[in-house]
Structure 1
């Protein structure tokens, strides 16, 4: 779109999915506005603005709804940095500005995030309305004859902020808002002489909004706690060997950093010097410190327990593990699960339908049941208040946000409510073998040369072909060549045959390293080495066949041990009623040996296309989760209902799949299933409470047992209960 600019604002005061819907609908109606994205947990609104749209108009529209805005930097189509229009010292009551002011900054004010809930704008409104109602009550004791007028004045004053918002929402395309329901009921109560109840209704509505604000704040606090894992100071090494203290966000890729014993690691990096045990539990949830040494990667936020380390920074602060986790969780909370989308569609019809039912309660009973008009009007207004869908709307996203935050604290990253909901419904989990069920650090155990060849020749030529490959088996062959002190010859025309072999030209001779299946397809007879091949595979080893100019060069056997917790992790899945199967390109005997030891099924000798067919077959029987290393299994991860990467926090692991297990433990998969099921159980409880309380109060209202303020309490009380229930998930722990 010509002249279009991507703008971003921080929007303060959003508490639930209904707030997101209000802001989105209001802004989408403005000229020049498209691609509106509103993130509840990040409190961020992004949109594309093209002429004749104005940033100032966007700000006025949002602030008219009662939300505060603050611009954030955004990149325009031409690559320039632009900011939304708003002044940070805007009127807290929500007054719009007359002109746009472009700011050069866009950082969130930390004081807002750290402000206690009782000092927020919504809390101030509750205290003011509470004082107003209490003052009216005290004055009514002294002036009983003016009882009605005192509460009428209190009600009308209390309705001002909500009435303004209801009008703004109606003008923005949301005439059947929650505010409209409440204002209509309160004004109706005033008309029939129930001014005291009307004032209490407005106060309880404000209390309900405050509780939603507290719930959203608690969920956001869980995300902010991740950011607190980064230390305030990093020790950057100078060229003269000294150190200087700088903020971690000033570290650049390639900088050298000193991490002393007891310090938190300030960046993602690679260890150059030193050895230590790192406590990675703040990031991955792994409780046992992990030994790290030169060449090993470390994550920001880990705690160095003993030895001093010298690191080279590999990621800037904006792209380190903690930053990516925070972005993932924030984006995940903006992704709606199927259950949440259903509730939102339902609530969109609920409110106008409820107004219609309330109107019927007012009009029909005087003719059918003999009620007087005052009684039918009073009970119709109560039905209108019972219909407020606040608790129902917040029931699903509150539980989802808490579940996603609880998982992130334990190294279980899930990219949205849809994936979180689907994981627990899985009937089968398919695992890749190398790097997933196994440690991913195979070593060469046997080298058997063909007649007339030497073992060093086999390893040297194979390693030369494998140069530059990141595959675990290639690394093992290269490590063996290094251990033997072999010098690798340069190669040319290196190429990979997916799922079969790698090949290259070396000294004008074609050298290939691949699977026994590849050798068989090339028509190479193993001769006397066939028996050795069978024996090695029977021992659970992976065997690569080296060929030179289409003739047998030798066999290289490698062994990759299963992860220490693999058997326990598979057993935990079985206990949850979930089947587990290994999908591997390795030979059938090796696959069967490892799968048998772990107590799971196996499909071996699979090419990438074969894995896709196996995933499709499993999906035909129900939801299926695919677990891989996030690098070689991208097609299978994408084909499964939910793809889970066990990549130790690598870029690919965090970006490829629908979820990631940072702790590199197979048991993390069963923990994902447990978290999903706990979250969905919480969702069902919340919906039952929200709907159940309304049903009870609807019955008591129609028979005259309860009145107006208990009616609004049905929604406020349900909001309290579903909020508290959702917050329980923040304390979720995996089953022992």
Structure 2
């Protein structure tokens, strides 16, 4: 809303998708409120307030009236709802000019060498809190057709068996069991009041909530249905069954709360990876112990052997092996030394190291992962949206059916009114779609959490659902299938030229480039102690070449194809070009004043798990394809080694066309480094970035593989399929159980308490089934 103010609140006490629906519906009814989004996992409410017609106090009163604890989050969002950026951040990742050196490659498809070239994370500073990643701007996670009791915030730190919900269950259980025990020895007229008391004890809080929900716009909540059915049972003299109904309802609420807490614990466990304190260096070389959240960008920190790294930073002293498995899922410790980046939550295995902090505590890798997973749980899958639309019609329809069961059979089938009323009340209890609605978000939340634990970050249920349906996976080559650390293998001069002179000219025009191939040429010149001359008028021809003037000569370095297009026919070097390319090397031609001066051959080795990762993808029935700007011979050599199809010689626009062609056959996953592949990532059904936790890897694509392993893509597909299988099981269980009980109720086999058991029991079963995903360990991949 133009001119509106976007605010956020923390809402404590929500424990299921129905809670989200209740809060959403209630806040949307307020005048001047738009853009309402409620995030269950983050316990966060976001809304845009029109100036002069809405107030934050009105929102807080409305939410508090439902029984939740609400508190404003200061500085969480800004007017207009646009997210903020740091001074050098741009969302136009496609516009980053990393393409300038041609070498016959589509340099827009090449990745940065994350090990050797660390982004200054402090310069990007995305404000996630102000950026709503939810797929639906309205943020609904469930229809407002039903509801559940919610947790008391004070219960968060207590064991489940002493919470308010548990105490209600113990009280009701004691009354019901005591009444049944006494019924064995006492007449019915003495025990009936005990069943009646148990019913009334539960109906007081449930009735109060049903009334509040009806006033807030949710008249068809489960509380309303349950209270109506229980009161009806008491009226017709079935207090024993009414007591069992309210006991089972309370028990189901308690178990659902426990399950929801366990699901949220998966995210809380990530926050626990950050140590509470850090050893900050003083100017005199001594250390002081400070809270980890007090660290600022530029501070120096000592991390001793066995300590967890308290911040994102860069090593400025010492060398050690770091166990990054808590963050990326990579089980093998990696050696880091001066200049290497480290991420918060890693474990320092052996040597003491000193770090310079590059990110504030609120924006380190762990914090960003937590925010992304929380936001992902608010994004709904297509299946979930369909279920919610279906459920919104289910409850009113079922209430009509209940009324018909009460009114029609006495005339049509000769039932007595007591029987028709009793069975109609049972149908009323079956009417709640709680188990059906929670079946999808419970599985999605568990799948997203399980993925995050293994370094697989997925931005929402829609992406998680789409990944498993992919028919093909398109890979960029450099930095994705390969290490992204090419090295110069050969420098072959033309007659009358020396190798050193050719390399010096190539390095001159590559100065200032951050591209891996350019860095490899500069590194080789440094290793040979070659003096690099100055270059002027440096320019890039995206995907083709880099150019400049050196000592008055026009120099370019690019692919053999580009050299021929410029009129510099390297015919004398053709045999060497063919040989080098057939060996999997990338060949660049150095051209001086329109004449081929020599060749520079480079090779970027495939990742250690690339072949196994590609094989795992093929084993899942998904077609792997490599898209590269490299020449066909080099691409074919690497593709043969890895066991996949190759599309070579592609410029950025060509990659987009290839993606479009693949999409004609089905959903496509595009895997890139997350830095230069933004157009192709956006064009695919699902874009997956491999970037070791860098800003762009977390921001650009729909998913990110933090382990920097090709096998992570197979894990994503396997996780998606496991999650969707869990969803299908949950939906079948919820609908099937209710259908069976509906039929048995109508024919008189089952009564009230099996009806409520069909609802609360199914809700608990689908939630527990969803929690099985938290034990998911990934596709069978070599470590």
Q: Distance between the aligned counterparts of 1:240 and 1:450, measured in 2?
A: 58
Answer yes or no: is 1:217 the counterpart of 2:261: yes
Q: Distance between the aligned counterparts of 1:668 and 1:45, measured in 2?
A: 33
Counterparts in 2 of 1:568 and 1:77: CA distance versus 1, 3 Å: closer
What is the TM-score normalised by the length of structure 1?
0.92
Counterparts in 2 of 1:3 and 1:242: CA distance versus 1, 3 Å: same
Q: How does 1:221-232 map to 2 (within 5 A)?
A: 221-232=265-276
Is the Cα contact below 8 Å between 2:482 and 2:604 reproduced in 1?
yes
Q: How does 1:82-231 map to 2 (within 5 A)?
A: 113-131=156-174, 133=176, 144-231=188-275
Answer yes or no: is 1:588 the counterpart of 2:632: yes
RMSD: 2.2
Answer yes or no: is 1:695 the counterpart of 2:739: yes
Deviates more, 1:531-540 or 1:129-138: 129-138
Q: Distance between the aligned counterparts of 1:194 and 1:395, measured in 2?
A: 32
CA deviation after TM superposition for structure 1 residue 280, in Å = 1.1
Answer yes or no: is 1:8 the counterpart of 2:8: yes
Partner deviation per Cα, 1:123-182 (whole Å, 9 max, x = no partner): 344344445555666787767425444433442342222222222222222222222211
Is the Cα contact below 8 Å between 1:64 and 1:165 reproduced in 2?
no
Q: Distance between the aligned counterparts of 1:79 and 1:28, measured in 2?
A: 18
Any idea what SS the aligned residue of 1:74 has? coil
Counterparts in 2 of 1:493 and 1:196: CA distance versus 1, 3 Å: farther
Counterparts in 2 of 1:427 and 1:309: CA distance versus 1, 3 Å: same
CA deviation after TM superposition for structure 1 residue 416, in Å = 0.6
Deviates more, 1:498-507 or 1:563-572: 498-507
CA deviation after TM superposition for structure 1 residue 362, in Å = 1.0
CA deviation after TM superposition for structure 1 residue 112, in Å = 6.1
Is the Cα contact below 8 Å between 1:139 and 1:150 reproduced in 2?
no
Deviates more, 1:484-493 or 1:131-140: 131-140
Q: What is aligned with 1:65?
A: 66
CA deviation after TM superposition for structure 1 residue 456, in Å = 2.2
Q: What is aligned with 1:407?
A: 451
Q: How does 1:418-433 map to 2 (within 5 A)?
A: 418-433=462-477
Counterparts in 2 of 1:110 and 1:150: CA distance versus 1, 3 Å: closer
CA deviation after TM superposition for structure 1 residue 113, in Å = 4.6
CA deviation after TM superposition for structure 1 residue 6, in Å = 2.7
CA deviation after TM superposition for structure 1 residue 77, in Å = 4.8
Counterparts in 2 of 1:533 and 1:2: CA distance versus 1, 3 Å: closer
Deviates more, 1:682-691 or 1:468-477: 468-477
Q: Distance between the aligned counterparts of 1:112 and 1:323, measured in 2?
A: 25
Equivalent of 2:496 in 437, 446, 452: 452
Counterparts in 2 of 1:111 and 1:248: CA distance versus 1, 3 Å: farther
- Report how many residues are paired: 708
Q: Distance between the aligned counterparts of 1:340 and 1:277, measured in 2?
A: 44
Q: What is aligned with 1:106?
A: none
Any idea what SS the aligned residue of 1:534 has? helix
Equivalent of 1:306 in 350, 356, 359: 350
Q: What is aligned with 2:554?
A: 510
Is the Cα contact below 8 Å between 2:175 and 2:195 reproduced in 1?
no
Q: What is aligned with 1:19?
A: 19
Q: Which runs of 5+ in 1 are unaligned?
A: 81-108
CA deviation after TM superposition for structure 1 residue 61, in Å = 1.4
Answer yes or no: is 1:486 the counterpart of 2:530: yes
Is the Cα contact below 8 Å between 1:299 and 1:321 reproduced in 2?
yes
Counterparts in 2 of 1:195 and 1:408: CA distance versus 1, 3 Å: same
CA deviation after TM superposition for structure 1 residue 710, in Å = 1.1
CA deviation after TM superposition for structure 1 residue 71, in Å = 2.8
Q: What is aligned with 2:100?
A: none
What is the TM-score normalised by the length of structure 2?
0.87
Q: Distance between the aligned counterparts of 1:457 and 1:312, measured in 2?
A: 40
Q: Distance between the aligned counterparts of 2:26 and 2:248, measured in 1?
A: 26
Any idea what SS the aligned residue of 1:301 has? coil
Q: Distance between the aligned counterparts of 1:659 and 1:384, measured in 2?
A: 42
CA deviation after TM superposition for structure 1 residue 56, in Å = 2.3
Is the Cα contact below 8 Å between 1:383 and 1:711 reproduced in 2?
yes
Q: Distance between the aligned counterparts of 1:563 and 1:75, measured in 2?
A: 41
Partner deviation per Cα, 1:599-640 (whole Å, 9 max, x = no partner): 110000001111111111111001111111001111111111
Deviates more, 1:191-200 or 1:127-136: 127-136
Q: Distance between the aligned counterparts of 2:740 and 2:639, measured in 1?
A: 54
Q: Which runs of 5+ in 2 are unaligned?
A: 82-151
Is the Cα contact below 8 Å between 2:6 and 2:79 reproduced in 1?
no
Q: Distance between the aligned counterparts of 2:361 and 2:777, measured in 1?
A: 29
Equivalent of 2:483 in 420, 424, 439: 439
Partner deviation per Cα, 1:557-596 (whole Å, 9 max, x = no partner): 1101111111111111111111111001100000000000
Any idea what SS the aligned residue of 1:37 has? strand
Higher relative contact order (CA 8 A, sep 6+): 2
Partner deviation per Cα, 1:657-683 (whole Å, 9 max, x = no partner): 111111111111111111111111111
Q: What is aligned with 2:113?
A: none
Q: What is aligned with 2:388?
A: 344
Partner deviation per Cα, 1:74-98 (whole Å, 9 max, x = no partner): 3565799xxxxxxxxxxxxxxxxxx
Counterparts in 2 of 1:66 and 1:201: CA distance versus 1, 3 Å: farther
Q: Distance between the aligned counterparts of 2:158 and 2:510, measured in 1?
A: 57
Equivalent of 2:341 in 293, 297, 310: 297
Q: Distance between the aligned counterparts of 1:110 and 1:367, measured in 2?
A: 51
Q: What is aligned with 2:687?
A: 643
Q: What is aligned with 1:74?
A: 75
CA deviation after TM superposition for structure 1 residue 504, in Å = 2.9
Q: How does 1:182-581 map to 2 (within 5 A)?
A: 182-581=226-625
